Amino acid sequence: MKKKGRRSFLEIVTAFIGGILGLAAGIPLIGFAISPAFKKGESKWVDLGLADRLKNSRFKKVDYTFTAKDGWVKATKKRSVYVTDAGNGEWRVFSRICSHLGCLVRWDESKESFLCPCHGAIFDKTGAVVAGPPPEPLQKLETKVEAGILYVKET
Ligand code: FES
C-alpha cells in the first residue's frame, strides 16, 4: 500500500512537471503562430513613376498595383488615384473611392470637381465634399519625391 502511494505521487509529480515544460515550450509557439493575425497591415511607399511626367496642373488618373501583407495574407491590390502637382512642391493624390459607399469618382475638368456616379456626390479639387451624402472628403494619400520619382504611401 505504501509503495503504491509513492508511485502515484511520483506519477502526479512527473505529470505536473511535464505539464509545466509543455506550457513553457507551447506558449511561445502559439504566440508565434497567431501573432500575425494581430498585426495591422504595414504601410509602404509605392512608385507612381517620374514626377516630371506627372507634373501637370490638371488631375491625371493613375492606376497601379502593389503587394500588401495583412496578417498571414499577402495579396496584390489594385488602386486608382488622381494626381496633380499643386505647385510649390505640393502634390495632391486622391483615392478615386467615394467616401460614401465606395463607387469610383471621376474628375470633370469643366466643373473642376470630382463627380460620383452613384448618388450624385461632388468633391472639389481639394477633395472636400461640396454636395451629396458622403460623410468625409476623398482620401488624400501621403506623397514624397525621391530621385525624381513620385511615391504614395499605401496602408
Ligand atoms: S457612393 Fe458616391 S455618393 Fe454614394
pLDDT digits (tens, 9 = 90+) for 6-41: 778 788 888 888 888 888 877 767 766 666 666 666
CA 63 to chain centre: 16
Q: Which residues contact 52 (CB under 8 A, 6 or more apart)?
A: 148
Architecture of the domain delimited by 44-154 = 3-layer Sandwich (2.102)
Q: Which residues contact 7 (CB under 8 A, 6 or more apart)?
A: none
In three-state secondary structure terms, 8 is helix
- What is the tens place of the pLDDT at every residue in 66-104? 988 877 788 899 999 999 998 888 899 999 999 999 999
In three-state secondary structure terms, 29 is helix
Name the DSSP class of 140.
B
Ligand 1, atom 1, residue with closest C-alpha? 101
How many Å lie between the centroid of ligand 1 and the Cα of residue 36? 34
Backbone angles phi, psi at 95, to 5 degrees: -65, 145
The predicted model scores a pTM of: 0.74
Q: Which atom of ligand 1 is nearest to the CA of 103?
A: 1
